[in-house]
A and B are shown apart, each in its own frame.
Chain A
Amino acid sequence: MEKYLLRNIENPNSADINEYVKAGGYKALAKAMDMKPADIIEQVKKSGLRGRGGAGFPTGMKWAFAAADPKMPKYLLCNADEGEPGTFKDRPLLEKNPHLLIEGMIISGHALRAKYGYIYLRGEYPQAKDILEAAIKQAYEKKFLGDNILGRGVKFDLCVHQGAGAYICGEETALIESLEGRRGQPRIKPPFPVNEGFLAKPTVVNNVETFSNVPYVLEIGPEEYSKIGSSDCPGPKLFSVSGHVKKPGVYELPMGTTLRDIIYTHCGGVTGDKKLKAVIPGGISTPVLPADKLDCPMDFVNMPKHGSMLGSGAVMVFDETVDLPKVCLRAIKFFEHESCGKCTPCREGIGWMRSILGRICGGTGNAGDIDLLLEVSKNVMGKTFCPLGDGAATVVQNFIKNFRNEFEAHINNKVRAER
């Protein structure tokens, strides 16, 4: 497949607006300026583009909701708070191809009649901040941003807002709270952001990769776009592959590429040709899969049928040497650290799971600990305010479901996990 999202990123100056324009950039914007906002929304709808942040919500539908709300002004927010462990797919877009995101946001802003856009960038990407700000400055200079875009009287202002280390701000209502200068805790829904989001105005929040797909939809048209990859969730998809593979990195592949293809064809197989033990296919909160489940197409529709989720498309590969209970413990420590503290089961339950896992991995686990762990996870699951707690419970439940023997081994043999 021809690369679109990552095209030109080998060019050392790919972030420069002139290079971007030379490679065909901002053509979709010119095209969009000739279109009625409603028509752009219609095209995005028709393309079948789904949000790339993890939930896979149809982008066009989200836009239509916000467009239908009469309240003004409307806001466009880019979720660049890529915090799901294992995920680094947006980083090359932000650092190497910022104008694709900017172009996508300007087009989206026009489609929604939004005049203000913010890129909520995670604090852990300080370089991306400088690169994005420089790119935005260039875009203003070229009149792609500002009060009179391309002389068409359309206004769109864009700036970068830096987060400060809170995974929960990847949840869109928490992101909005954070952008409003508050503690990043999720809001009660409804109202949904498309009706009452940033400053209580209609707000669309989309992922970096989602916005970056928008120019493509316009460039090749929704019909062509919908032919790429899986039929019910088409388009190019970025997969960030890490762990024990020969060539880790970010890959742009058609939606629906199988895990096996990603690991063995594109990433060259397991490092040192060791045996594969487990794969987390979509970032840490998606269920871990054992080595015999690699033939599922990676998309929003098919992954659940195979017992996991596409998530952010962050594939984490573990070879036979990995102590999976220890991975599970580290993952739960992450969730504990990132729990916003709002609701009881997440705030207290995850810490409890961590302490049980801690004693199992520390070689001091008790016979009933696995069942207790499962019960605590069950008491967290489905009862939290937002999906973060579910993520943690999912991790525990799936690691135990697929690799219970490893947990039992720790307990029975009183084995402390190795460094």
Chain B
Amino acid sequence: MKLSDKVAAEINSIKSRYQDPRSCLLPSLYVVQKADGWIAPEAMAAVGELLNVPGATVKGVATFYSMFRHKPMGRHLIQLCTNVACLVMGAEELVDILKGKYGLEPNGTSPDGRFSLVIMECIGACGTAPAMLVDTDFHENLNEKNIIDTLENYK
């Protein structure tokens, strides 16, 4: 697979920030994920080619970090925290609600392809728990009602 010209160009521009092209690996994977929603094996190989990093090494790195996705995602990614602060403020109930309302299982995608759900470790919103990220937006002080209102804004 070839990376799209846009993705390749963006990676090449990021490269200049680093003294060593390999440092550009995580940012490059982000560029791919932003474009495709996930990181296909072929994309890993292509990124490796561009940065002169062996494909197996790219795979080792990409699978180490929990925010890289290795299968296609729904249109919107819900990253819901259930760590201690969110837990004691009711995050588990929210997981149930997402299942009931959208048929979403953790690490799953709703049947209509609209949402994917990933359970997060702490997202740094403990004072406003429970909280989630939808794509790159923070939504805090969630409860059984406002979580649905919020998600309904994502089509």
Binding site for B on A (CB under 8 A): 82-88, 90-91, 116, 122-127, 159, 161-167, 178-184, 199, 240-244, 248-250, 280, 284, 314, 316, 318, 322, 326-327, 330-331, 334, 337-338, 340, 419
Contacts and interface: CB of A to CB of B under 8 A. Distances in A.
Given A243-B89, A340-B64, 18 more contacts: A86-B85, A86-B122, A88-B125, A165-B68, A166-B64, A166-B66, A167-B121, A181-B25, A181-B53, A184-B64, A248-B126, A248-B127, A280-B84, A322-B88, A330-B82, A330-B83, A330-B84, A334-B84
Contacts, number: 136
Question: Which 3 residue pairs spanning A and B have beta carbons closest together?
Answer: A181-B25, A165-B67, A164-B65
A338 B121 contact: yes
B121 A337 contact: yes
Interface of B: 17, 19-20, 22-27, 29-30, 51, 53, 60-61, 64-68, 79, 82-85, 87-89, 92-93, 96, 120-129, 133, 136-138
A76 B66 CA distance: 26
Given A87-B126, A127-B138, A182-B61, A161 B26 contact: yes
B29 A85 contact: no
Contacts of B136: 126-127
A387 B127 CA distance: 26
A235 B121 CA distance: 30
Contacts of A125: 124
A242 B67 contact: no
A240 B129 CA distance: 12
A327 B124 contact: no
Contacts of B128: 248
B60 to A, nearest CB: 6
Contacts of B122: 83-87, 124, 334
Interface centre among B20, B93, B126 (most CB of A within 10 A): B126
B80 to A, nearest CB: 12
A314 B126 contact: yes
A145 to B, nearest CB: 13
Contacts of A82: 124
B23 to A, nearest CB: 5
Contacts of A318: 88
A318 B136 CA distance: 30
Contact of A250 (B26, B65, B120, B127): B127
Nearest to B64: A183
A103 B138 CA distance: 27
Contacts of A85: 83-85, 121-122, 126
